[in-house]
Chain A
Amino acid sequence: MKRKRTTRRAEEWILRLYVAGQSARSAAALRNLEAICERHLAGRYRIEVIDLLTHPLLARGDQIVALPTLVRRLPPPVKKIIGDLSNEDRVLVGLDLRRTARRKASA
């Protein structure tokens, strides 16, 4: 377990946020995501924002139905979180980050 965590720490997180246009909800989701990443993944994350209005075909690959959807591309396995990401705890659970976050807080 321990070794796994250390390797994961070295990995880069690739997060893909699917939105539709410049809606308030899209903007809120991106804002929330950036804040969470800065707090928990500083320096080792990358966010790709995909606007499905301009790239509708990309919705198929990640099976996007609801918007906004956040997809954790890396590290595997793929995880999905839908909604405006306003509940940080739920986002951390969804990203499998909660345990890491607690350890950090206690350290």
Chain B
Amino acid sequence: MAARSDRRRRRPRTKTAARSGQAPRDIAKVPTGIQGLDEITGGGLPMGRPTLVCGGPGCGKTLFGLQFLIDGAQRGEAGVFVSFEETDDDVVKNVRSLGQDLDDLIARKRLAIEYVRVERAEIEETGEYDLEGLFIRIDHALRAIRARRIVLDTIESLFAGLTNVGVLRAELRRLFAWLKARGVTAVITGERGTHTLTRQGLEEYVSDCVIALDHRVSDQISTRRMRIVKYRGSNHGTNEYPFLIDQRGISVLPITSLQLVHTAGKARVSTGLPWLDDMFGGKGYFRASSVLLSGGAGTAKTSLAAHFLDAACLRGERALCFQFEESPAQYVRNMRSIGLNLERWIKKDLLRIHAARPTLYGLEFHLATMHRDVDEMDPSIVVVDPLSAFTGGSFGEINNMVMRLIDFLKGRDITALFTHLIPGSSATRDMEVGVSSLMDTWVLLRNAPPGEYGGRRLSILKSRGMAHSADVRPFELTDNGAVAQDADGGIRAWRRLS
């Protein structure tokens, strides 16, 4: 892709050339560097054409533009940032918080910032004028660094500075056509209007690609969303995609293809407990399957999940654990009490524990951070402990999130284990867990009913595509981990893999 975008396509600057550019053909695309967006759009923004990015204040428009340029600069494609709102210095400062050093890119002529300020109070208008001055400045900036990308942020500010709306509209139309004829890929940002996508209806002029950004707050938790309103000549995802802005910039959640196309291998992965592997035909879970461990409070869900993590690390695989109830230190300490030394795996960076309070962010944000962490670490197994911590959203939202997470993990050939707390213990009837249908394997954990022999019970409710035990297996947590018991109560000599 870098090679393709590097290629300089100089179109002759004539009107006919601009028109022939609209002829239907395969659209070349320019990657944006925004994680996820390139997947939704099938490669990025339309090459050599303007894209409108619109949304309310603080929704990330400027950042979108800057990230697009920084990405270009890193690929060797220079870009010009025309700022109508912030001075050069402010732009540089703001991006520094993302760990990007624009000064360096500017010094290397990969980036140029052109600050355009129009102050109504300073200007008297008399007679006819046009915006040729702006054209000349942009032209000069583009030539000076041989730019192939440009961002106009936010060009509608001109409407606040100049009064002749007729001239402005005509000139903007000319500007967009001119940029298109030059073959530079442009991002034009616009503030959301009350009934239109942008205050000045820029969407009428920029018709090749329109992306709307949105920033909503519900239950005091904010979610950012992105939607491709249109993309002429290209397929694109049409949903609203959540995205997040953090110290690494914008990333969109491309967990879009809710298609059941995962390859289904026969490889197995150990549960971490020989007796439990036995119950799954001696081999454990299918690799890249989803496993649900559900049970009441204190039924050893977390402990069994820890066994799974430990076994993976023991095999030298990487494991990632999302902990929503305990801090990593507390978790490690607690697992030590059943003989699991997780700390050594953390030190070797085979195991990462990502702990966060579920109420800290919205569901989407959690999903996004999970997505990103998985991308970064590339683990072979993932544990989410517990899934039931997510109570923020409606049932449908949580279901949707889990579905997307599972799809994403399966797509990466990752085995995912979720724990789930069933309110009240030993209540088999009301365990209508919505997410269970999404799971390939469902293991139920119970505490022994009063009066029966103590300990815990484990049973496999389902395990798609494999023979599995129908037993209700008693087990107990010992200093050496979870140990199965015979029906008569005698502890079998099962030992943890070590």
Residues on A facing B (Cβ under 8 Å): 18, 20, 25, 28-29, 32, 52-53, 56-57, 59-60, 63-69, 78-87, 90-91, 93-94
Taking a contact as CB atoms under 8 Å apart, the answer to whether B124 and A80 are in contact is: yes
Most chain B CB within 10 A, of A28, A63, A81, A94, is at A63
CB distance from A107 to the nearest CB of B (A): 26
Taking a contact as CB atoms under 8 Å apart, the answer to whether B128 and A90 are in contact is: no
Q: What are the 5 tightest A-B residue pairs by CB atom distance, in nearest-first order?
A: A94-B124, A83-B127, A84-B127, A90-B126, A86-B127
Give Cα A79–Cα B116 distance, bound, in whole angstroms: 17
B140 surroundings in chain A (CB, below 8 A): 56-57, 59
Give Cα A68–Cα B127 distance, bound, in whole angstroms: 10
Closest to A57 in B: B140
CB distance from A73 to the nearest CB of B (A): 13
A20 surroundings in chain B (CB, below 8 A): 132-133, 136
* Other 10 A-B pairs with CB < 8 A, given A52-B132, A59-B136, A65-B131: A28-B127, A52-B133, A65-B137, A67-B129, A67-B133, A81-B123, A82-B124, A84-B126, A90-B125, A90-B126
Taking a contact as CB atoms under 8 Å apart, the answer to whether A65 and B139 are in contact is: no
Taking a contact as CB atoms under 8 Å apart, the answer to whether A94 and B126 are in contact is: yes
B125 surroundings in chain A (CB, below 8 A): 81-83, 90
B122 surroundings in chain A (CB, below 8 A): 78-80
Most chain A CB within 10 A, of B114, B117, B118, B119, is at B118
Taking a contact as CB atoms under 8 Å apart, the answer to whether A64 and B137 are in contact is: yes
A90 surroundings in chain B (CB, below 8 A): 124-126
CB distance from B220 to the nearest CB of A (A): 42
A84 surroundings in chain B (CB, below 8 A): 126-129
CB distance from A25 to the nearest CB of B (A): 6
CB distance from A71 to the nearest CB of B (A): 10
Give Cα A56–Cα B139 distance, bound, in whole angstroms: 9
B118 surroundings in chain A (CB, below 8 A): 63, 65
Q: Which residue in A56, A63, A85, A86 is a CB contact (below 8 Å) of B136?
A: A56
A85 surroundings in chain B (CB, below 8 A): 126-127
B127 surroundings in chain A (CB, below 8 A): 28-29, 32, 83-87
Query: What total count of A-B pairs have CB within 8 Å?
Result: 95
Give Cα A20–Cα B139 distance, bound, in whole angstroms: 13
Taking a contact as CB atoms under 8 Å apart, the answer to whether B124 and A66 are in contact is: no
Taking a contact as CB atoms under 8 Å apart, the answer to whether B124 and A79 are in contact is: yes
A81 surroundings in chain B (CB, below 8 A): 123-126
Give Cα A94–Cα B114 distance, bound, in whole angstroms: 27
Closest to A89 in B: B126
B114 surroundings in chain A (CB, below 8 A): 60
12 CB contacts below 8 A, A to B, read A20-B136, A52-B133, A59-B140, A60-B114, A60-B137, A66-B162, A67-B133, A81-B123, A81-B126, A82-B126, A82-B162, A90-B125
CB distance from B135 to the nearest CB of A (A): 8
B116 surroundings in chain A (CB, below 8 A): 63, 65
B134 at the interface (CB under 8 A from A): yes
B130 at the interface (CB under 8 A from A): yes
A80 surroundings in chain B (CB, below 8 A): 122-124
Closest to A32 in B: B127
A29 surroundings in chain B (CB, below 8 A): 127
Taking a contact as CB atoms under 8 Å apart, the answer to whether B131 and A66 are in contact is: yes
B34 at the interface (CB under 8 A from A): no
B158 at the interface (CB under 8 A from A): yes
Taking a contact as CB atoms under 8 Å apart, the answer to whether B137 and A83 are in contact is: no
Q: Which residue in A18, A25, A65, A83 is a CB contact (below 8 Å) of B126?
A: A83
Q: Which residue in A18, A59, A66, A86 is a CB contact (below 8 Å) of B130?
A: A66
Query: Which residues, 254 to 271 on B, are CB-close (under 8 Å) to A?
Result: none
Query: Which residues, 206 to 220 on B, are CB-close (under 8 Å) to A?
Result: none
Give Cα A56–Cα B136 distance, bound, in whole angstroms: 6
Given A52-B136, A59-B137, A60-B137: A68 touches B129 (CB 8 Å cut-off): yes
